Amino acid sequence: MSNEQGVKKFDPEKRKTIRFSEPALESIQKIIQRYPAGKQKSAMLPVLHIAQAESDGWLSPEVLDYVAEILGLLPVEVYEVASFYSMYNLKPVGKCVLEVCQTSSCWTRGAEDVVEYIGKKLNIKAGETTSDGMFTLKTVECLGSCGTAPMLQCGAEYHENLTEERIDNLIERYRKEDRRRNYTDLDFVNSN
Amino acid sequence: MAKDHVPGIRSYDVYRANGGYASVEKALKTMSPEAVTEEVKKSGLRGRGGAGFPTGMKWSFLAKPEGVPRYLVCNADESEPGTFKDRYLMERIPHLLVEGMITSSFALGANTSFIYIRGEYFYVSRILEQAIAEAYANGWLGKNILGSGYDLDLYVQVGAGAYICGEETALLESLEGKRGNPRIKPPFPAVEGLYRCPTVVNNVETIAAVVPIVNDGGEAYAAIGIGRSTGTKLISASGNINKPGVYEIELGLPVEEFLFSDEYCGGIANGKRLKACVPGGSSVPILPEYLVCKTATGDDRLMTYESLSDGGFATGSMLGSGGFIVYDENQCVVRNTWNFSRFYRHESCGQCSPCREGTGWMETVLRRLEKGMGNLDDIDLLVGVAKKIEGNTICPLGDAAAWPVAAAIRHFRHEFEYHVLHAEKVKDPKHGHKEPIMPVKPAPVVA
């Protein structure tokens, strides 16, 4: 899996200041208990999702180091996993990461136009973040929504059958609500 | 999955009122684990994730050494482009998967089971967690289920964006908190799987099918479908059709009926003509128009494992995961092949050289051709690279990347040549969206 993001340098001073919120630490402990004794490494992926939601949507080397401490692992065991999976951001991102699917069915139904439209509207290219730190535009591979193409994902939310009007509306809503969107968000579950 | 349209079926009460959890009652109260496995064998059920391996046989391979835990892991990593059926099932009727997991875990003697779901489906994992919490609250999970003495804990594990984790050993690596690098087989997961313990990995739809098999008996299930393609299958229909979506079909349905009848896909969108179809997810060979509804020998092509692969790769394809992608006459085959190859380049885990390097080169050469900057030798170069990947990697991702490229050139070589000989016509990056670049290829005339 190619990960084009360069890893940032480790800062020991910053590392000392990092601590997750109590509810986050509690849910991490609950996750660890799912696995047999000594297999707490299994908690890696879910814990990294929590870590990302706790750290402004991206995983710095300092955060990864902290996760290693929580799970009783070597830092490198955490780094190598974080750099493998495409949902972990290894550099800062905007509050709302707009991930536009580019594969097969979305592609045949205008995925490129969606990227072009959002890019023009926000004045950024794919991979870039708006200067106000609100939006990052990202192109991704198949998100399993081929029957409702074209589509994009932002945090936990799936936006399907995209039209220019729908894109306008969702960007306006995100601007108004002005908060970070995480994969771990709960509100989309019941509204869907 | 016949009850997926019942309003409120996502909740426990409605699901239960519609006959939900009957298979757990039947299995735990009246059957032995071996008897459940026997019914699954009789049903002829084959893995619904893509490989089509008989499920009962897979279960019977599970090693059962004394004192070693066994695991059932549900593969909900659904990442094959063109496939979205598992998401539909889990979102609409999550208790069906939970019920199937309980009954199947009982058959396999697993006391801890996992549903590994792709990270992008995070909201679906929440829906499953709600369903599991309801199942615990109503005594279907936990200690001593229904007083049978059988204990089971069921957890949802989320991935983090990696197609390769749909390969069963990569999935297990990921579940152990590692990079998703597939393992060398043997040992197979049935002997050494999760935490090196015997493990069965099954697709969501496979597990869900265990519910009707236990309720109605394996023979009743085997009576549905044709020959060795028994039962029903969820098909994810997408691309240039009037009614994209998930359809549950009885295996044996003619492709023509599936594609053109209003009950299913409803024909090609915008009154266009069919050009090609990928019937089983991005990894399977593409079929040109004249081989979609008929086989090379002129028989009706059916939605079965056998009929879709009739003719081998020369004139057939595969049922695969049931990701049915349809292309109309405007679509450029070179462009879509490049799109797939970019996907595989991105998703190769990098462990085996033929796949890591080969997917990269195929993408580079295809992009060159697609932009009208290739030469005629590139076409054979692609065939050569695809051949060198196929069969030379630890896991099937290499094959999956090579097959679509080889098939596209086999059936649409003229279109690749056109990209070289008429380069000026494909300079516009959006060629093929507005009008066809070439007419639909007719069936070859056999002398």
* Residue ranges of chain B with per-residue pLDDT less than 50: none
- Residue B396 near residue B164 (C-beta atoms within 8 A): no
| Residue of B69, B120, B340 lying closest to A144 (CB–CB) | B120
Contact A80 B155 (CB under 8 A): no
- pLDDT, average across residues A141-149: 93
Between CA B380 and CA B23 the distance in angstroms is 54
pLDDT at A92: 96
- Res A2 pLDDT > 60: no
In this structure, are residues A81 and B177 in contact, taking their beta carbons and an 8 Å threshold?
Answer: yes
Q: Is 90 exceeded by the pLDDT of residue A8?
A: no
Q: A118: exposed, middle or buried (C-beta count within 10 Å: 0-12, 13-18, 19+)?
A: buried
Say if the Cβ atoms of B177 and A148 lie within 8 Å: no
Q: How many CB pairs lie under 8 A apart between chains A and B?
A: 169
- Residue B74 to residue B58: CA distance in whole angstroms: 14
Between chains, do A105 and B244 touch, taking CB under 8 Å as contact?
A: yes
Residues of A in contact with B240 (CB under 8 A): 108-109
Tell whether the model's pLDDT for residue A1 goes beyond 50.
no
- Chain A residues whose beta carbon lies within 8 Å of the beta carbon of residue B347: 1, 141
Per-residue pLDDT, B437: 75
- Which of B70, B129, B238, B344 should be substituted to probe chain A, the one whose Cβ sees the most A Cβ atoms within 10 Å? B238
- Residue of chain A minimizing CA distance to B195: A39
**Which stretches within B116-254 are classed as H helix?**
122-137, 168-175, 204-216, 218-222
Contact A86 B160 (CB under 8 A): yes
| Contact call for B160 and A48, based on CB within 8 A | yes
* Contact criterion met (CB below 8 Å) for B392 and B426: no
**Contact A103/B176, CB-based, under 8 Å?**
no
State the best of B115, B121, B123 to mutate against chain A, taking most chain A CBs within 10 Å.
B123
**Cβ-contact B434, B330 below 8 angstroms:** yes
Instruction: Write down the pLDDT at residue A191.
Output: 58
Q: Which of B87, B158, B346 sits opposite A2 (nearest CB)?
A: B346
Question: Which residue segments constitute the domains of chain B, with CATH numbers given?
Answer: 12-218 (3.40.50.11540), 226-328 (3.10.20.600), 333-426 (1.20.1440.230)
The pLDDT value given to residue B2: 75
Q: How near does any CA of chain B get to the CA of A85, in Å?
A: 5
Is A117 exposed, middle or buried, given 0-12, 13-18 or 19+ CB atoms closer than 10 A? middle
Question: Cβ contacts (< 8 Å) between A188 and chain B: which residues?
Answer: 123
8 A C-beta contact, residue A171 and residue A123: no
Please list every residue in chain B whose beta carbon sits closer than 8 Å to the beta carbon of residue A189.
123, 126-127, 130
Q: Do B177 and A43 touch (CB under 8 A)?
A: yes
Q: What is the length of chain A?
A: 192
Q: How confident is the model at residue A5 (pLDDT cuts 50, 70, 90)?
A: low
Q: Where in chain A is the domain with CATH 3.40.30.10?
A: 96-191
Nearest to B176 among A41, A157, A189 (CB): A41
Q: Is-above-0.90 flag for pTM?
A: yes
Q: Quick one: closest CA in A to B179, which residue?
A: A81
**Residues B64/B109, Cβ–Cβ less than 8 Å:** yes
pLDDT digits (tens, 9 = 90+) for A87-125: 999 999 999 999 999 998 999 889 999 999 999 999 999
pLDDT tens, position by position, A28-86: 999 999 999 999 999 999 999 999 999 999 999 999 999 999 999 999 999 999 999 99
Q: Report the residue from B164, B245, B340 with minimal CB separation from A104.
A: B340
Task: Report the residue of A71, A104, A107, A152 to disrupt the B interface, i.e. the one with the largest count of B CBs within 10 Å.
Answer: A104
Tell me the shortest Cα–Cα distance from A3 to chain B, in angstroms.
9
Q: Which residue of A has its CA nearest to B242?
A: A147
Name the residue in chain A with its Cα closest to that of B158. Answer: A46
Give the architecture-level CATH label for domain A12-82. Orthogonal Bundle (1.10)
How far is the C-alpha of B51 from the C-alpha of B106, rounded, in Å? 24
Contacts of B341 (CB under 8 A, 6+ apart): B359, B362, B363, B366, B401, B404, B405
pLDDT digit string (tens) for B40-56? Answer: 999 999 999 999 999 99
Domain with CATH 1.10.10 in chain A: 12-82
CATH class for the region spanning A96-191: alpha beta
Which residues of chain B have a CB within 8 Å of the CB of A87?
A: 119-120, 160-161
Which tokens is A1 given?
Answer: 């899996």
Contact B119 A146 (CB under 8 A): no
Residue-wise DSSP of A62-106: HHHHHHHHHHT--HHHHHHHHTTSTTS-SS---SEEEEEE-SHHH
Interface test with chain B among A33, A45, A103, A182, by most B beta carbons within 10 Å: A45
Written as six digits, the tokens of B166 are 């749909």
Q: Each residue of A154-163: pLDDT tens digit?
A: 999 999 999 9
A146 CA to chain B: closest CA distance, Å? 6
Of B238, B340, B348, the CB nearest to A147: B238
Record: contact B158-A148, CB cut-off 8 A: no
**What confidence score (pLDDT) does residue A3 get?**
46
